[in-house]
Amino acid sequence: MKITGLECLHANAGFRNFDFLKISTDEGLVGWSEYNESFGGMGVTEVINNLATMMNAHFCAVVPNFRIMEIDCDFVP
Structurally, the chain folds into a number of domains equal to: 1
Q: What range defines the domain where residue 53 resides?
A: 3-67
Confidence of residue 32 (pLDDT cuts 50, 70, 90): very high
Looking at residue 17, its pLDDT comes to 82
Question: Would you say residue 46 lies in a domain?
Answer: yes
CATH number, position 10: 3.30.390.10
DSSP E strand boundaries for 1-77: 3-12, 17-25, 30-35
pTM above 0.85, yes or no: no
Q: What is the mean pLDDT of the chain?
A: 74
Confidence of residue 31 (pLDDT cuts 50, 70, 90): very high
Question: Would you say residue 77 lies in a domain?
Answer: no
Total residues belonging to the chain: 77
Averaged pLDDT, 45-73 = 63
